[in-house]
Amino acid sequence: MRRVLIIGGGGMVGQKLAHRLSVEGLDGDTDIEVTLFDMAYPEGGAPAAERIVGQLGNFADIDALVAARYDVIFHLAAIVSGESESDFQKGWLINGAAFLHFGMKLEEEHRVSGGAYVPRVVFTSSIAVFGPPFPDQIPDDQPLTPQTSYGAQKACAELMMNDLGRRGIVEAVSIRLPTIVVRPGKPNLAASSFFSGIIREPLNGQEAILPVDESVRHWHASPRAAVGFLIHAAGLDTALLGDNRALSMPGVSCTVAEQIESLRAAAGDKAVALIRHEPNETIQRIVGGWARDFDPARALALGFRADADFDAIVRAYIEDYLTD
């Protein structure tokens, strides 16, 4: 039996991943046991063998997780972009120091085992590791020049993952997720939250706030696609990655105006009328420093696949969360 740990298993993507693993297994292997770790879990959430309540800011919790020697670890937990920017200490504690401690404990457990313990670790990084000036499409060899604390924290974690992989301590894969939309539930503190809000709220008959200009272009993938990325990464031959274990995931590049047109196609003018423009300089500044389009050649060559277009992203949300 393979033992699987999802750090951040109470969050939206973690729950969706756990649900899919419970149905399909991992790489066709249904003989798996899934453990979730998070600060809290939704009522009636995804099935799991165990749900551990804890915090990454408590390093003793990290020590206990690593000491349990899971075969596959999905590391999804993070302080999101907006909160990382507004709370420097919290962002660097959880996204920075806690992740570095996690890596050091993995090295220790590997060493104590005499080199026998080599887990697969899939880490969710972010396109925020890139900063301007941007080419029309960001290639796989684009230098990491983050312009936010969140991006800097994710870049540091990527370097730790590269080092763990280089040393043979873990089978390391870092996947740089596009902004994941449309997220169900309530808005979070991410600066990108409005990308989901301007679709989700109108589809639910509620008003949505748009804090940026409609000309803003960004890189997106659905929650359904994100789970597909994670599962594919867990089965990937890491020898194909060489020394760079980080991959920019495929996605859909579109403007806010194009997002709104996809909403209109799915739900009509009445839904679009629920979007209220309310400029926010802080969010505009953060989003203005983000990547807009990618050429994810490495990921595509390795078999990663995303949504066909933004219409498909909206349809996925309706099918997964609004259809009985």
Condensed to tens digits (0 to 9), the pLDDT of residues 241-261 reads 999 999 999 999 999 999 999
What's the confidence (pLDDT) of residue 74?
Answer: 98
Read off the amino acid at residue 121. V
- DSSP-derived secondary structure letter, 190: -
What's the confidence (pLDDT) of residue 323?
Answer: 76
H helix or E strand, kind and range, residue 38: strand 32-38
Most confident option among 24-33, 104-113, 188-197:
104-113
What's the confidence (pLDDT) of residue 289?
Answer: 78
The catalytic site residues sit at: 150
If phi > 0 it is left, if psi is from -120 to 50 it is alpha, else beta; for residue 130 that is beta
Q: Pinpoint the residues of the chain covered by CATH 3.90.25.10.
A: 193-218+252-293+307-322
Give the residues across from 51 on adjacent strands. Answer: 36
In degrees, to the nearest 5, what angle opens at C-alpha 249 toward C-alphas 243 and 254?
145
Average pLDDT over all residues of the chain: 95
What's the confidence (pLDDT) of residue 164?
Answer: 98
CB 15 within 8 A of CB 30: no
Give the residues across from 26 on adjacent strands. Answer: 29
Residue 10: exposure state from Cβ atoms within 10 A (0-12, 13-18, ≥19): buried
Do β-strands 72-75 and 120-126 pair in parallel, antiparallel, or remain unpaired? parallel
Superfamily grouping for domain 193-218+252-293+307-322: UDP-galactose 4-epimerase, domain 1 (3.90.25.10)
What's the confidence (pLDDT) of residue 324?
Answer: 61
CB 78 within 8 A of CB 93: no
Q: Which CATH class is domain 2-177+222-248?
A: alpha beta
In degrees, to the nearest 5, what angle opens at C-alpha 74 toward C-alphas 259 and 1?
130
Q: Pinpoint the residues of the chain covered by CATH 3.40.50.720.
A: 2-177+222-248
Residue 276: exposure state from Cβ atoms within 10 A (0-12, 13-18, ≥19): exposed
Nearest to 148 by CA among 127, 134, 163, 176: 127
pLDDT for residue 189 is more than 90: no
Would you state the structure tokens that stand for residue 241, as one six-digit string? 């990655």
Confidence of residue 169 (pLDDT cuts 50, 70, 90): very high
274 vs 188: which has the higher pLDDT: 274
What's the confidence (pLDDT) of residue 130?
Answer: 93
Write down the pTM of the prediction: 0.94
CB 61 within 8 A of CB 55: yes
Condensed to tens digits (0 to 9), the pLDDT of residues 280-315 reads 998 888 888 788 999 999 999 999 999 999 999 999
User: 310-317 vs 193-203: helix axis angle to the nearest 10?
Assistant: 60
- Provide the sign of the torsion angle of the four alpha carbons 200, 15, 159, 63, taken in this order: positive
How many CB atoms within 10 Å of residue 139?
Answer: 12
Give the residues across from 171 on adjacent strands. Answer: 120
Nearest to 229 by CA among 244, 248, 243: 248
Nearest to 46 by CA among 10, 76, 71, 8: 10
Where is average pLDDT lowest: 54-63, 78-87, 224-233?
78-87
